[in-house]
Each structure stands twice: as C-alpha cells, then as structure tokens.
Amino acid sequence: MLFVKLRVKRGADYQSYEVPYEEGMTVLSALQRVKEEIDPSLTFRHFCRAGICGTCTIMINGFPKLACKEQVLPYVLFGQELVLEPLANFKVIRDLAVDNDGVLKKVKDMHLWIKEKRGQIRIEPELSKRIESSADCILCFACQSYCPQVLEEGYAGPLFFAKLYRLYLDPREEEKEKRSRQTILEGRLYHCLSCNKCNNVCPKEVEPANLIRSLMKLMDVPV
Ligand code: FES
C-alpha cells in the first residue's frame, strides 16, 4: 500500500501525518482524511473543492498552490514528503488558515470594479478576450503570497494591478484614466520588480506581471 506523508506547520512547530493513498487524491483530500481520522483539530480552509473559489490556497513545498487541485501521486511515487504551510505574507489565524480580510478590504477600498456607464456598450470580441484573463482571477492570493515586494511599504501587490488592467481596458468604465492613475499611486506600483513570480504561481494563468507591464505601457507610466 502507498502512503502520503504530510508535514504540516502548526504554529511554531511542524506535525507529521501519514495517510493511505487513494486514486485521484489531492492535497486537500489528504488533509481531510487527516482531520476525519487522525486529528480533528487540524485547521485549513476549503469550499468548492473544484479550483473555483480560491479558498484552499496554501504553501505546498514552498509554492502557493490550490490544495484541491494538487495531486499527491507524484510526491508519493518519488517518496517525497509534502510540506504544508500557511500562505506566506499573510497573518496566520491557525495552522493553515490565514487572515485575508485585510486584502479583501483593500480591494473594496480601492474600488477595483467597473462603475458602469449608462446605456448599452458593445465590447468587441477581441477586447473581451484581452480583459478575460484579468477577469479570471479567483482571489486565491497565490500571487500576493509569492510576490517579494508585497511587504514593501504600501505596495498593494500583483492582484490589485491585474484587476486594474481590466478596469482600464473596459469601455464601460467612465473615469478610467483618473481612477487608474489614482490606483497606481495609491498602490505604489513603482515597487513592482517585474520579476514574474506572480505569473509562475497563478493557478488561473492570469499572468499578473504581464498585465502590469501592458498597463504601464498603455498608460505611458515610466518603468
Ligand atoms: Fe475552492 Fe480549492 S476549495 S479552489
């Protein structure tokens, strides 16, 4: 029988667990098995279990990933332990659960959505395709947790500017110039290093770094 080895960060320590491997097992299902059969006190977040809600993101062997999408089989076959930690750059509530209220509040404070114009506005298919990737963001916070600049003073982070890209391009937004320049200043976009780390970890291929570069070009912001 094959076993999944988990090493879970719990506060200042790590705790090891082992559960039998089942076909199609994900990191989330392995954690659920631990919770159901070994340790009911183990805390982690999840909701849809289908890679849609973005709730289950944790650090898996050093990378932010959706626990419900990450298959354990490759780790099991190579006899590799899964080291599970709470998302970096976030305050830990307990075990693998982090406090993301601050980031959600900032999204609200910065009003990163379209204040629709009156009447019907046709969006050309080509433009719709361009803004599609920004709209695919599921607020999983993987980019925020892997960005080396997020802890720089006042830098909002890749998530905010990927959302701003959509706002800037969407023809329904009446005050895009004013609002976008304001957001760039408030969110201190100049801290972005263009290192592409956010591109590499986004599970929805939003590619925030590419959107940030396009946004800067469109708005003629000096890099
Ligand atoms: Fe919803 Fe993983 S539980 S994305």
Q: Which residues contact 218 (CB under 8 A, 6 or more apart)?
A: 168, 169
139 CA to middle of ligand 1, Å? 11
Q: Name the residue among 159, 154, 155 with its Cα closest to residue 197.
A: 159
Please tell me the distance from the alpha carbon of residue 109 to that of residue 62, in angstroms, as a whole number.
31
Ligand 1 pocket list (CB less than 6 A): 46-49, 51-56, 66, 68
Contact of 50 with 67, CB cutoff 8 Å? no
178 CA to middle of ligand 1, Å? 35
28 CA to middle of ligand 1, Å? 9
Ligand 1 atom having least distance to the Cα of 53: 1
Name the residue type at position 57: T
pLDDT of residue 222: 67
* Backbone CA torsion sign across 33, 36, 41, 44: positive
Ligand 1 atom having least distance to the Cα of 138: 4
pLDDT of residue 31: 98
pLDDT of residue 186: 86
Please tell me the distance from the alpha carbon of residue 70 to that of residue 25, in angstroms, as a whole number.
9
The DSSP bridge pattern shows strands 82-85 and 3-10 to be parallel
Contact of 82 with 7, CB cutoff 8 Å? yes
Ligand 1 atom having least distance to the Cα of 69: 2
pLDDT of residue 196: 96
pLDDT of residue 140: 97
212 CA to middle of ligand 1, Å? 26
pLDDT of residue 174: 81
pLDDT of residue 118: 65
Tens of each residue's pLDDT in the chain, 223 residues:
899 999 999 999 999 999 999 999 999 999 999 999 999 999 999 999 999 999 999 999 999 999 999 999 999 999 999 999 999 999 999 999 999 999 999 888 888 887 766 678 888 888 888 888 888 999 999 999 999 999 877 899 999 999 999 888 888 888 888 888 888 888 999 899 999 999 999 999 999 999 999 998 988 876 5
